[in-house]
Structure 1
Amino acid sequence: MSHNSDQPDLRRRDFIGKTVLAAGAASIAPGVMLTMANAGSDEGVSSKVRWGMLIDTNKCADGCSACVAACNQENGIDLIERPAGQSDAMWDAQRPQWVRKVKLKDNLTGEITNLPMMCQHCEHPPCVDVCPTGASFKRADGLVLVDRHTCIGCRYCMMACPYKARSFIHQDVASQRTGTPRGKGCVESCTLCVQRLDAGDQTTACQDACNREGHQAILFGDLKNPDSEIARALKAYHSRQIRADLELNTGVRYTNI
């Protein structure tokens, strides 16, 4: 029987998932379980949809961090407290960041471009390729996620990600939101607000925050629906992938860079 080396062994992942569930889900706080909506399963999602994002860097305002703050609040990242006595450098290196503001400078013209950087939700995600347990996986609708039950914290995915989009949780997570469970020893990254999508919403927290600020730099939607606003915008405007040379076919695209 032929084996596709570009894809994880689904039977092995299924076995691991069932074994973990049979042993009992890991409890990380009273009433909080380390589950991810539809994790490891295509139930409720379809390959007819591919969620993605288009970011207009001309509209991304210098000094604005509304998208970062909204992401932190939506996913409970703002609930992590800085360990007592930890230096500024260590805190900056270890604190989780699902979205970070990046400045690009054109060495020829000196022009500065601002953009938010997050998981790019690749069609061919390197993080999935290197994960030894199948914890990093891609759903049928294009979302690249992490199953906290099977993540062993090896951080191979962090080394493989060309966008530095993943974070490792170094300390205990005492307070968190039940819709976005998080735990020490796990790797995590932007999920394009999977908890909202699975609840029937079709916007992300960062998009909503950007719109409230009046910038409207972030457009989210179904890339495969020709009638969606994002699909029409991608046809109307030239957009680029970050590190297009890697041929990952990212779900996040940028204009005016």
Structure 2
Amino acid sequence: MSSCSGGDEKAGMDRRGLLQTAGAFAASVLAPGVTLYAFGGGEAEAHFQARPPEEPASSNQRWGLLIDLNKCSNGCNACVTACKDYNGWQNTGREDIDPQWIRKVTLKDPNTGVERSAPVMCQHCASPPCVDVCPTGASMKRADGIVLVNKHICIGCRYCMMACPFKARSFIHEDETDQKVNNPSGKGTVEGCTLCVDRIDAGQRPACVEACAKEGGALIFGDLKDPQSEISQALRQLPSVKLRADLGVDPGVQYANLL
């Protein structure tokens, strides 16, 4: 597998608390008045049926990710770079306030010392804590399982950031320039991984998945409710775990070969 530049965020399993410890490593309608459109989506081939913009998201689907850590190189940061480039989240140079829609972390078993490099992003939970605590309804979940933020009604209280067990949301502290048309941002609001919802609705895979396909194919995306989808077939072959399964939030992101 080819390698790419980038750094990992080193953290012991005991500090991260990402996993249940027993036996494991420690154009789309978002909401009323909010619509995203796919711009310049011709660079990636269609992988599934695009959803007409006039049709609402359906609970007949649940989009998710399977991440095979045997194929995830410790030095590769392609998924992070692709996410940043496509969605336009910007770094200020201050680690304490820089957004991280997706980040690479090193998970370490304190008993054996075995390490795995893993991408961590919004887990698009079936029962998302961020939605439960939001006082305005800005944090929301589409019928197809994608968890989003309606920035028109986000008041920047950051309750969702405190509630998220995966540190998957960021607060926009500064005015932003050169924004992406597919991801308009505003100072004083919260943002996070959208699974590249505009690409999904156009029948394309998220940007991180497209980039990873060129580096080893660790990220598999698809409809968890479709038994014939690539992700469903892979899940039948690869034992997988969900981060913090003990919380009962049912993440849409699963990890294979974490043990």
Contact 1:42 1:139 in 2 (8 A): no
Is the contact between residue 170 and residue 185 of structure 1 (CA under 8 Å) also seen in structure 2?
yes
Superposed CA offset, 1:98-147 (max 9, x none)? 00001011111111111000000000000000000000000000000000
Q: Distance in 2 between matches of 1:236 and 1:200?
A: 25
Contact kept, 8 Å, 1:67 with 1:206, in 2: the verdict is yes
Secondary structure, aligned partner of 1:94: coil
Partners of 1:36 and 1:147 within 8 A in 2: no
SS at match of 1:233: helix
**Is the CA contact (8 Å cut-off) linking 1:36 and 1:148 kept in structure 2?**
no
Match of 1:221 in 2: 222
- The 3 A distance-change label for structure 1 pair 81 and 106 is closer
Residue aligning to 2:24: none
CA contact (8 A) 1:37 1:198 kept: no
Residue 234 (structure 1) shift = 1.1
Residue aligning to 1:74: 86
- Per the alignment, do residues 109 and 36 of structure 1 end up closer, same or farther by CA in structure 2, a change over 3 Å counting? farther
Structure 1 residues 42 and 123, CA gap change in structure 2 (3 angstroms): farther
Alpha-carbon distance between aligned partners in 1 of 2:91 and 2:247, rounded to the nearest angstrom? 36
- Do structure 1's residue 53 and structure 2's residue 65 form an aligned pair? yes
Q: CA deviation at 1:148?
A: 0.5
- The 8 Å contact of residues 133 and 160 in structure 2, kept in 1 or not, is answered as yes
Aligned-residue sequence identity (percent) comes to 57
Aligned equivalents of 1:182 and 1:166: distance in 2?
13
Match of 2:117 among 109, 114, 119: 114
Q: TM-score, normalised by structure 1?
A: 0.79
Following superposition, the deviation at residue 200 of structure 1 comes to 2.8
2:229 maps to amino acid = S
Equivalent residue for 1:208?
210
Alpha-carbon shift at residue 169 of structure 1 (Å): 0.3
| 36 and 167 in structure 1: CA distance in 2 versus 1, 3 angstrom threshold | farther
Residue 128 of structure 2 corresponds to residue 100 of structure 1: no
| Secondary structure, counterpart of 1:92 in structure 2 | coil
Pick closer, same or farther for the CA change 1:42–1:149 going to 2, 3 Å: farther
CA distance in 1 between partners of 2:133 and 2:98 (Å)? 23
1:236 equivalent in structure 2: 237
Q: Where does structure 2 lack aligned partners over 5 or more consecutive residues?
A: 1-30, 38-52
Match of 1:249 in 2: 250
Give the Cα separation in 2 of the matches to 1:57 and 1:229: 17
Q: Does 1:127 align with 2:126?
A: no
Instruction: Check 1:48–1:208 CA distance in 2 against 1; reply closer, same or farther (3 A cut).
Output: same
Q: Distance in 2 between matches of 1:155 and 1:74?
A: 24
1:172 corresponds in structure 2 to 175
Aligned to 2:188: 185
Kindly indicate whether the alpha-carbon contact (under 8 Å) linking 1:100 and 1:118 is maintained by their aligned counterparts in 2.
Answer: yes
CA distance in 2, matches of 1:43, 1:144: 18
Instruction: Tell me how far 1:166 sits from its aligned partner.
Output: 0.2
Counterpart of 2:253, as a letter, is V
State whether residues 91 and 99 of structure 2, in contact with CA within 8 Å, keep that contact through their aligned partners in structure 1: no
TM-score (normalised: structure 2): 0.79
Q: 1:140 to 1:197 in 2, by over 3 A?
A: same
Contact 1:173 1:183 in 2 (8 A): yes
1:236 partner amino acid: Q
Q: Using the alignment, how far apart are the partners of 1:237 and 1:106 within structure 2?
A: 20
Decide which structure has the larger Cα Rg and report it: 1
SS at match of 2:95: helix
Q: How many residues align?
A: 213
Q: Distance in 2 between matches of 1:113 and 1:55?
A: 12
Find the counterpart in structure 2 of residue 142 from structure 1: 145
